[in-house]
């Protein structure tokens, strides 16, 4: 499996989009709303069909019934909250991982409409555990990174108080990540100079 996207969660989407545009020289592209979740996103390509998702509250939607994903409701500043790996056969990947001792969670369908009216549909696993990725399967939907401006991903790593446990979970998923001992966190460098934590 390969990296699909990084999730940069923020309490103020428009401000984070402005900051990232200033830091990278590339304006994130509007993705669209996530109906029922109370969120919307903007995207920047990271190269190799990967992207950075900047996700935050959508003021045009009513308050969601439950909390917004990625802990957005509790955030006071943006943070690199999660990452996703592409799983073409998500059911088989989840079953394999469970036999190896790690349950990545149930598979849920989601969708959003792009500003030009295209409907994107995908399935992913819940819950999100920042340093361990969630799985995503785009099915027949064209990958959203295909038309994005690119700021190359130049480094990506994580830290956790129990790095050996995280490595076991990553191995169960068939994924690799440099994980060191420390507070639970992800760190990415894009464009060689912009660090996201």
196 contacts 80 by C-beta, under 8 angstroms: yes
Q: How many whole angstroms separate alpha carbon 37 and alpha carbon 19?
A: 24
Q: How many whole angstroms separate alpha carbon 146 and alpha carbon 101?
A: 35
The radius of gyration of the chain from alpha carbons, rounded to an integer in Å, stands at 16
* Percent over 70 (pLDDT), the chain: 100
Nearest CA to 149 out of 38, 42, 34 is that of 42
Dump pLDDT digits (tens) for 117-154: 999 999 999 877 889 999 999 999 999 999 999 999 99
Q: Which whole number is the average pLDDT over 79-92?
A: 96
Q: Which whole number is the average pLDDT over 72-93?
A: 97
pLDDT of 80 reads 98
Q: Which whole number is the average pLDDT over 22-30?
A: 98
Nearest CA to 4 out of 105, 147, 133 is that of 133
CATH 3.40.190.10 fits 2-151, yes or no: no
Nearest CA to 19 out of 149, 196, 146, 188 is that of 196
> Residue 70 CB: number of other CB atoms within 10 A?
22
Q: Which whole number is the average pLDDT over 78-97?
A: 96
Q: Which parts of the chain are beta strand (E)?
A: 2-9, 29-34, 39-47, 50-57, 79-86, 107-113, 119-125, 134-137, 153-160, 179-181, 185-190, 194-196
């Amino acid at each position: 499996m390969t990296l699909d996207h990084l999730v940069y969660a923020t309490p103020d989407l428009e401000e984070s989009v402005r900051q990232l545009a200033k830091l990278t020289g590339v304006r994130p592209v509007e993705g669209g709303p996530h109906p029922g979740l109370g969120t919307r996103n903007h995207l920047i390509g990271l190269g190799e069909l990967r992207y950075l998702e900047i996700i935050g509250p959508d003021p045009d939607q009513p308050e969601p019934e439950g909390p917004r994903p990625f802990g957005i409701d509790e955030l006071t500043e943006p943070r690199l909250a999660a990452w996703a790996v592409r799983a073409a056969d998500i059911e088989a990947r989840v079953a394999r991982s469970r036999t190896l001792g790690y349950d990545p969670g149930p598979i849920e369908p989601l969708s959003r409409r792009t500003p030009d009216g295209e409907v994107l549909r995908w399935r992913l696993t819940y819950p999100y555990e920042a340093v361990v990725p969630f799985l995503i399967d785009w099915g027949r939907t064209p990958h959203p990174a295909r038309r994005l401006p690119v700021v190359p991903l130049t480094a990506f790593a994580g830290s956790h108080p129990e790095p050996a446990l995280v490595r076991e979970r990553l191995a169960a998923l068939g994924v690799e990540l440099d994980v060191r001992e420390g507070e639970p966190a992800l760190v990415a460098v894009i464009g060689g100079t912009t660090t996201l934590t």
